Every structure is written in C-alpha cells, then in structure tokens.
Amino acid sequence: MANPSLLILAGDGIGPEVMAEVKKIIGWMGAKRGVHFDVSEDLVGGCAYDAHGTPLTDATMAKAQAVDAVLLGAVGGPKYDSLDFSVKPERGLLRLRKEMDLFSNLRPAQCFDALADFSSLKKEVVAGLDIVIVRELTSGVYFGEPRGIFKEGNERVGINTQRYTESEIARVARSAFELARKRNNKVCSMEKANVMESGILWREVVQEVHDRDYPDVALTHMYADNGAMQLCRWPKQFDVIVTDNLFGDVLSDMAAMLTGSLGMLPSASLGLPMANGRPKALYEPVHGSAPDITGQGKANPIACILSFAMALRYSFDLGEDATRVEKAVEKVLADGVRTADLMGPEGGTPVSTAQMGDAVIAALDASL
C-alpha cells in the first residue's frame, strides 16, 4: 500500500520556521511509529510571487489536488502590500480553498490548563474550554457577485454580495452535525436571520438538515452578534458552532483569543471525499506570517504542530497518534516550556522555536 501523501507549503514569514518543527514530528512518526508519508514541498504566497509572478502556480495547484492533504504555514507580509489585489499572497490561499472546494473550516478553541491565565477572561471562564467553530469557507460575502469598487455619480461605492445556496448551507451543516456526534452532540448555528435574507435561509436549511438527518443532535440557533457576546460571557456553553464565512471569520478569531494566544490554534479546511474516501483537506495554523519576528527564533510552532495532529486525525485515520501529539504538547506546556508569546508573570522556561519543537519530540519519546 502506498504511503499517504502530504504537500507542505510553508509560505512566508514564520511559516518555514514553524513548519521545520512539524517536519521533525513527521520524521519521528516514521522512525518511532512506522508511519511514513510521501512528502513534497512547494511555494505559496509571497515567496511564490517572488519566484513565479503569481501567489500560486497551476502546477502547485495540481499537486494540491492530487495529494491526500496539504499542510500550509502562513502567507503575506508588508513587502507585498502594494501588489495588485489579484496577485497578493492571500489570493494563493483563497485559490487553494476555492478550487479544492474546501467548504468546511474547523477551528478548535481549546484552553490548556497551563495557559488558562493567559486569556483576557477570568480563569474560571476559560479553564477547560474545548469548542470548535465550523465556518463555511467557499461562499458567502467573500465570493458573492457582484463585487468591486464602482463609480456612482461623483463618488465611489464598494460592493460585496452575501450569497448562499441551499446546498452550500446544507453541506456545511452536515459537517457540523457529524463533528458534534463525535464530541458532545450539540450544535449552535449562528446567523443574522433578524436582518438578512441569507440568514433566514441559513436558519431554515440548518433546521431542515437537522430534522431530516440528525434529530439526535441538540440544535440551537443564535444571532451572530449575540453569539459574540456569549463567547465572551460563558464560552463553555458551546460545543460546535456552525456559521457562515464572514461571521465565522470574526467569531473564530474571537474564540482564538479566549485561549490566550493565536500561536496555539490549529485549523482544518475539509472538502468532499476523494476516490480513496479521504476528504480533500488543507491544514494551517490560525496565526499569520508575523513578519516582525521572522528569522528570530521567537515563533511558536505549536499551532502548526497541532494542525498536523488534525491531519493525522481527519485525513489519515490516525486518531491515536493525533492524541499522542496533542498530549505531548499539553505535557510540554504543563512543564512550563514557553516560547516568547507564552511568557507570563509566572515565568517559565524560555525556549526558541526549534527548542519548543525538540521539547515536543522529547515528550513524544516519553509517551512510548
């Protein structure tokens, strides 16, 4: 049987630095667990523009379509701010999501006990937090037409269109319900049905999918602005939240900071199953390219490491190994090992990006 295939697109800024630590774990998986991957690498984002004049070449896109999973680091940076919108680094990521039809974005927000004091909320509010936001990723206001900046009379007007079909809503709803069945069997759907027709349709379709196929899952509905407030008030009331592209973008960043650091949070973007039954998938840390600390060994690789753990679970059916990686991260944090973003008043052992990766490897060794 062929080894599972993985395309690494480290990207820009701290992307290559955090991805180097994931490569250590991939190597460890082969050496210590007998799990080998066929790994290829390519360019995306600003580095691809520098090399090829485009943030994503057709050849790289074809590779992404062919592999079992894509692991991405980060894209962008101020160097590329003046580029035309069509070739900005972020367009490479958006093309990957769109052409791979990665419609379901899973963003866990988990607060490790060792980091509960890092949240801006009270410790008792976030300690033990473990929720997932399922964001629709390939439609909605970021893709709807018409869009653009137009001249009307003597002034300009910016237009973006919020557009959803029933099938687009239904498939991301199913993704959320399926995930909930593996967790605490509870979904909260968020929209703005009080003021938006697309929100009315969203609520109706999610309810229809629930009633027809998932009556065993507890479903509630909430306006997205109230959802934002509730995430700050008592986030542990939620388990799985499903929402559209725009609200999911905002709410998942809010949920990210409940845990204390963007450097801790992974994500998975999943599509329809391929011929081998695995979903098309792209995994990436939530954080950006952090050009201000690039090359300084200050980047936290944990989000990228946990993104690889998600790949083990969702793309490669290696749930036991995914849990092993997650537990290793938890052990390292409990031992007080800290990259710069995790150094708080209580102190800890300061480490570089590479040293954090080595600490995770040591914890993995100890787990055998």
Over the stretch 339-362, which tens digit does the pLDDT of each residue have? 998 887 777 899 999 999 999 999
Sign of the C-alpha dihedral computed for residues 346, 121, 294 and 352 taken in this order: positive
Taking a C-beta distance cutoff of 8 angstroms, is the pair 224, 192 a contact? yes
The pair of structure tokens assigned to 308 is: 């690889």
* 1-105+262-368 and 130-258 agree in CATH topology: yes
Q: For strands 186-191 and 240-243, give the pairing.
A: parallel
Choose, from 88, 192, 280, 298, the residue flagged as catalytic: 192
Taking a C-beta distance cutoff of 8 angstroms, is the pair 188, 238 a contact? yes
Active-site annotation holds for 192: yes
Q: What are the domain boundaries of the chain?
A: 1-105+262-368, 130-258
Active-site annotation holds for 249: yes
Choose, from 253, 327, 335, 358, the residue flagged as catalytic: 253
Distance, in Å, from the CA atom of 121 to the CA atom of 140, rounded to the nearest integer, reads 31
Active-site annotation holds for 253: yes
With a CB cutoff of 8 Å and minimum separation 6, the contacts of 225 are: 192
Choose, from 49, 80, 142, 164, the residue flagged as catalytic: 142
pLDDT at position 118: 80
Task: Give the fold, CATH level 3, of 1-105+262-368.
Answer: Isopropylmalate Dehydrogenase (3.40.718)
Taking a C-beta distance cutoff of 8 angstroms, is the pair 299, 293 a contact? yes
Query: pLDDT tens track of the chain, all 368 residues?
Result: 789 999 999 999 999 999 999 999 999 999 999 999 999 999 999 999 999 999 999 999 999 999 999 999 999 999 999 999 999 999 999 999 989 999 999 999 988 888 888 888 888 899 889 999 999 999 999 999 999 999 999 999 999 999 999 999 999 999 999 999 989 999 999 999 999 999 999 999 999 999 999 999 999 999 999 999 999 999 999 999 999 999 999 999 888 878 877 678 899 999 988 878 888 999 999 889 999 999 999 999 999 999 999 999 999 999 999 999 999 999 999 999 999 988 877 778 999 999 999 999 999 999 99
Name residue 117's beta-bridge partners: none
Choose, from 68, 239, 249, 341, the residue flagged as catalytic: 249
Distance, in Å, from the CA atom of 101 to the CA atom of 138, rounded to the nearest integer, reads 7
Task: Give the fold, CATH level 3, of 130-258.
Answer: Isopropylmalate Dehydrogenase (3.40.718)
Choose, from 225, 327, 335, 358, the residue flagged as catalytic: 225
Active-site annotation holds for 225: yes
pLDDT at position 213: 98
pLDDT in tens, 120-161: 888 889 988 999 999 999 999 999 999 999 999 999 999 999
For the chain, what is the largest distance between any 2 Cα atoms, rounded to a whole number of angstroms?
70
Tokens 């900071």 correspond to 257
